[in-house]
Amino acid sequence: MPSASASASVAAHVLVVDDERALANLVSGYVRSAGMSAQVCHDGMQAVALARQTEPDVVVLDLGLPGLDGIEVCRALRTFSDCYILMLTARTDEIDKLIGLSVGADDYVTKPFSPRELVARIQALMRRPRTSALTRTTADEPVREFGDLRVDPGGREVWVGGRQVELTPTEFDLLAVLSARPRLAFSRGQLIAEVWGESWRGDERLVDVHIGHLRRKLGDDPANARYVRTVRGVGYRMGEGQ
């Protein structure tokens, strides 16, 4: 197990949720050795209760929990928390991974995995708000307007038609990047680099899932998008909101 001095630590409180007790304890040990605090639980209901009490920065969440499974826990967490959620799955079916991400998860790791890699993913999540110059803002930065859509980069708030829209950190970061350069069409790789960080390695279709979830929250029809438009063969860009 790596020592704290050997790891680039990122201060964070991590909640590890897995019914495999040995694995949960192993992961929490690596998390603590990397300079973060860790808490462990083994069922979904307890995970939701602990998240309310302790307000973790990151939840490492097993998809295949008994009773209240990882998908339902993820949905519940997103009703009150904007913590980063990293899903663990032993299933190889891509649909399971995408379902987890569509309810607000930020990343996923497939079992078996290296605990060191998992810690690196957690650290990458914690660095994400600081990785991109496009998402670094000051409090006095002006609100960006696209028709009925208003994006406040300093306050990290979004409104559509005067109604405030609650976004996850990933969804807001994607919108912040797109709205900072509204005339530029971003590829999926560019959005990964800006939001997840240039060192992130994984499936670029993560972008499509989060964009889909963002559009649903904004009330944006993908077939006739006003706010987040698809650029065929390239990726995505902001629309004018008309």
Domain extent listing, the chain:
4-128, 144-238
Query: What is the helix, strand, coil percentage profile of the chain, to 5?
Result: 40, 20, 40
Report how far residue 40's alpha carbon sits from residue 191's, in angstroms, rounded to the nearest whole number. Answer: 33
> What pLDDT score was predicted for residue 7?
38
Reduce the DSSP state of residue 175 to 3 states and report it. Answer: helix
Considering Cα of 30, then 34, then 40, then 43, what sign does the dihedral take?
negative
0.85 surpassed by pTM? no
Residues 123/126/129/132 CA torsion (nearest 10 deg): 0
> What is the mean predicted confidence (pLDDT) over 135-152?
80
- The residue assigned the tokens 């063969």 is 233
The pLDDT, as a whole number, for residue 34 is 92
Helix (H) or strand (E) holding 186, with range, is strand 186-187
The percent of residues in the chain predicted with pLDDT above 70, rounded, is: 83
The per-residue pLDDT of the chain, averaged, comes to: 84
Fold of 4-128: Rossmann fold (3.40.50)
Query: Is residue 100 over pLDDT 70?
Result: no
Q: CB of 135 within 8 A of CB of 186? A: no
Distance between first and last Cα of the chain: 55
The contacts of residue 128 (CB under 8 Å, 6+ apart) are 84, 169, 170, 173, 195, 196, 197
| Sheet with 163-165, edge to edge strand ranges | 144-146, 149-152, 157-160, 163-165
Confidence of residue 41 (pLDDT cuts 50, 70, 90): very high
Alpha helices, H only, the chain: 21-33, 44-54, 70-77, 94-102, 115-131, 169-180, 188-191, 205-218
pLDDT higher at 88 or 202: 88
Q: Residue 208: which of 239, 157, 170 has the closest Cα?
A: 170
Pick the CATH number of 144-238 from 1.10.3720.10, 3.40.640.10, 1.10.10.10, 1.10.10.350: 1.10.10.10
Q: From CA 152, how far away is CA 141, in angstroms rounded?
A: 8
Instruction: Round to whole Å and give the CA distance between 63 and 33.
Output: 25
Note the pLDDT tens digit of each residue in 42-58. 999 999 999 999 999 99
Residue 7: name the closest of 31, 29, 42, 38 by CA. Answer: 31
Angle at 154 between CA 218 and CA 158, to 5 degrees: 15
40-49, 68-77, 134-143, 164-173: range with highest mean pLDDT: 40-49
Task: Give per-residue burial for 94-129: e unless 16+ CB within 10 Å, then b.
Answer: eebbbbbbebbbbbbbeeeeebeebbbbbbbbbebb
